[in-house]
Amino acid sequence: MSAPSTEIPPSIEIAGRKIGADHSPYVICELSGNHNGSLERCLAMVDAAADTGCDAIKIQTYTADTITLDVDRPEFKIHGGLWDGRTLYELYEEAHTPFEWHAAIFERARQRGVTIFSSPFDETAVDLLDSLGAPAFKIASFEAVDLPLIKYAAAKGKPLIISTGMANLTEMQTALDTALSAGAPGVLLLHCVSSYPATFADANVRTVPDMAARFGCPIGLSDHTPGTAASVAAVSLGACAVEKHFTLARADGGPDAAFSLEPAEFKALVDDTKNAWAALGRAHYDVLGSEATSLLFRRSLYVTADVKAGEPLTRANVRSVRPGNGLPPADLDKVLAGKATRDLARGEPLDWSMVG
């Protein structure tokens, strides 16, 4: 058996959908912990997410015990930000999506015709997701340095999406190389700012094209800023995927509610990013078919006062106006050097047969 290739594919494919620079942006709706401990609410979130037109729904697969330790040491507490004062264990105990919910969540997404996958945080999570037929794995920013986890997920032979928040260039390259050499058929790297919420000043979406040039693989954005502006900007700079957190209502609370979009906002994200990509088009200077009717209303030379045959053509009786049925305005000096070859009526478009 030959060793896996480390050649970097310019696009990846998830559940039959190609993701790359030549394709409309792939919009991932991250449910995260905003189910607030209710499977019923989580399933309602799947339905609401599907209604936005997103390309994929993503959840997170861990328990408090698989991601951290129940220890009351200072380094296990969060200092500052949205979750100030909480222990990691408390936060993850609240936010986790129970393993026993996963089958129902995956089934609901499939019923709604939306691709679903998840972020695994240990090998048991990878195995669960693989058993459920997840078409890809997402490696979270904090796990981008967990090379054994990346290797284990990549060995399942499915594409990996890797967020790069906090990672330096060497760590990004190592994560990418590790995934490809371990068997992932492709990797999508997401530029990410691991701040919750992130500010526009920190978004630095110009990193997207720079990463594309450096790594040669598809690049997207994991966006924790408010609204849709950063995502649209990233797509305009070449991001081929956008991931954004989702909630039914921020007022309902939840671990990630403060930086999540509500359904109408998420639909706007889907529409805005895809329209932004469509608007990029190509560089060209030809008249478009849609512009053809507008050509009529360009300026041209018209008779603006009645002129008798043989009388000179002057600025008093010839002018550049709309519409565009007469001679081009650039010919005005030539026209003004001539005389009328026949009687001309106000409102006639000029042509050379009228100029002697």
Q: Per residue in 240-269, pLDDT tens?
A: 999 999 999 999 998 889 999 999 999 999
**pLDDT tier at 231 (50, 70, 90 boundaries)?**
very high
Q: Average pLDDT, stretch 176-197?
A: 96
Helix 147-154 and helix 169-181, axial crossing angle in degrees, nearest 10: 30
**Do the beta carbons of residue 257 and residue 232 sit within 8 Å?**
no
pLDDT at 4 over 50: no
Domains of the chain from N-terminus onward: 12-280 (3.20.20.70), 289-354 (3.90.1210.10)
Q: CA-CA distance, 88 to 70, in Å (whole number)?
A: 8
**Do the beta carbons of residue 221 and residue 231 sit within 8 Å?**
yes
Phi, psi of 352, deg, nearest 5? -65, -20
pLDDT score, position 242: 98
Q: CA-CA distance, 266 to 249, in Å (whole number)?
A: 12
Burial state string for 264-273 with b = 16 or more CB within 10 A and e = fewer than 16:
ebbbbbbebb
Residue 197 makes CB contacts below 8 A (sequence gap 6+) with 82, 224, 225, 226, 258, 259
3-state DSSP percent of the chain in helix, strand and coil, to 5:
40, 20, 40
CA 271 to chain centre: 10
Phi, psi of 161, deg, nearest 5? -110, 125
Q: Which residues share a beta bridge with 12?
A: 19
Closest residue by Cα to residue 26 from 274, 313, 287? 274
Q: What percent of the chain has pLDDT over 70?
A: 98
Q: CA-CA distance, 112 to 291, in Å (whole number)?
A: 40
Per-residue model confidence as pLDDT tens digits over 320-337: 999 999 999 999 999 999
Tokens found for residue 77: 């507490």
Handedness of CA 126, 129, 132, 133 (dihedral sign): negative
Element containing residue 319 per DSSP (H, E): strand 318-321
pLDDT at 142 over 70: yes
SS3 3: coil
pLDDT at 195 over 50: yes
Per-residue model confidence as pLDDT tens digits over 271-325: 999 999 999 998 988 877 888 888 889 999 999 999 999 999 999 999 999 999 9
pLDDT at 117 over 60: yes
pLDDT at 6 over 70: no
Specify the pairing of strand 219-223 against strand 12-14. unpaired
Per-residue model confidence as pLDDT tens digits over 38-50: 999 999 999 999 9
pLDDT score, position 3: 45
Mean pLDDT of the chain: 95
Q: Which residues share a beta bridge with 189?
A: 162, 219
Element containing residue 139 per DSSP (H, E): strand 137-139
Per-residue model confidence as pLDDT tens digits over 52-110: 999 999 999 999 999 999 998 999 999 888 878 889 999 899 899 999 999 999 999 99
Q: Which residues share a beta bridge with 302?
A: 319, 349
**pLDDT tier at 209 (50, 70, 90 boundaries)?**
very high
CA distances from 275 to 194, 200, 231, 271, 288 (A): 27, 21, 12, 6, 18
Q: Average pLDDT, stretch 167-184?
A: 98
**pLDDT tier at 2 (50, 70, 90 boundaries)?**
very low
Length of the chain in terms of residues written = 356
Question: Nearest 10 degrees: CA dihedral of 325, 328, 329, 335?
Answer: -100
